[in-house]
Amino acid sequence: MTRWAVILLMSLAACERPRVVAVTAAIPGPDSVDAPLADLAFVALPYDRDSLIAAFEARATTPRPHTEVLDSVFRVFRAPFAAYTTVAREAEQWNDSLRALKHRLDSLPRNSPAYTGLFARYAIIRDSLVAIDRRAARARFELERAREGFLAVSEPIRTAIRAWEDSTYNGYQEAVDSILRTQRRDPVSDTTDARGQSAIELPPGRWWLYARSWDANDPNAEWYWNVPITSDTIRLDRRSGRSRPRY
């Protein structure tokens, strides 16, 4: 490389400025419809977290233990969990309707025609809630019974997995510290607002956005993102992330 090429590269590097990156987050709710994810803690990293983890796992002398068994237990538990959350959500929606109707009834005179019609509707919803509450109680009982069996099987396996991770990822933080010292860049963290939005300022260089969030449809899963920042807008959603088991 010629002297002038070196000078040109140095000049271009010197012209780089920090950039602002807009972050939006949304995940499927219990109804499978994407909704803004508020209060999501995320961090921009000057290295590829997945590559670093893969390097540590590649040196492990044994694979992560018992994941097939745990995946099977997760699938069995998902059914009673989904049944309970579905009926609980239905009860919440009916209760919202009941409260709204009561508010309207309280604002009307009892001898008005509008009051009579609204009260009849109120009585129908109230009676429907009795049946829904019975279903919710049965679903809650089935969920608690399933939870007892789930914990009996899953906890010993999860203990073994945590021991494997402690051994496999030994030295991980030291590796991260070494990378940060070499690059002379620190992680940049923030949290999304009520609309699931944020904006961060990043120094020049390559960055990845890392975040995790619970999965509303599976108590033993989480949404995981490790997204390379290649534009001024990053979306953390079902397309850029993945739902994975929480071992």
Query: What is the H or E stretch that residue 236 is in?
Result: strand 233-236
Cβ atoms of residues 95 and 208 within 8 Å: no
Per-residue pLDDT of the chain (247 residues), as tens digits, is 444 433 333 333 434 789 999 999 999 998 889 999 999 999 999 999 999 999 999 999 999 999 999 999 999 999 999 999 999 999 999 999 999 999 999 999 998 989 999 999 999 999 999 999 999 999 999 999 999 999 999 999 999 999 999 999 999 999 999 999 999 999 999 999 999 999 999 999 999 999 999 999 999 999 999 999 999 999 999 999 999 999 9
H or E segment at 21? strand 19-28
Q: Identify the H or E element spanning 223.
A: strand 218-228
As a whole number of angstroms, the distance between CA 74 and CA 71 comes to 5
Which fold would CATH assign to domain 67-168? Helix Hairpins (1.10.287)
Residues 201, 215 contacting (CB under 8 angstroms): no
Whole-model pTM: value is 0.82
CA distance 60 to 90: 47
Alpha carbons 3 and 25: distance in angstroms, whole number: 46
Q: What is the dihedral of CA 188, 192, 196, 199, to 10 degrees?
A: -50
Strands 41-45 and 233-236: unpaired
Contact predicate 228/206, CB 8 Å: yes
Q: Which residues of 2-20 are buried (b: 16+ CB within 10 A; e: fewer)?
A: eeeeeeeeeeeeeeeeeee
SS (H, E, C) 14-82: HHCCCEEEEEEEEEECCCCCEEECCCCEEEEECCCHHHHHHHHHHCCCCCCCCHHHHHHHHHHHHHHHH
Which CATH code of 2.40.30.200, 1.20.58.220, 2.60.40.10, 3.40.50.300 fits the domain covering 15-46+185-245? 2.60.40.10
Strand, coil or helix: 193: coil
Ranges of each domain in the chain: 15-46+185-245, 67-168
Q: In whole angstroms, give the CA distance from residue 247 to residue 244.
A: 9
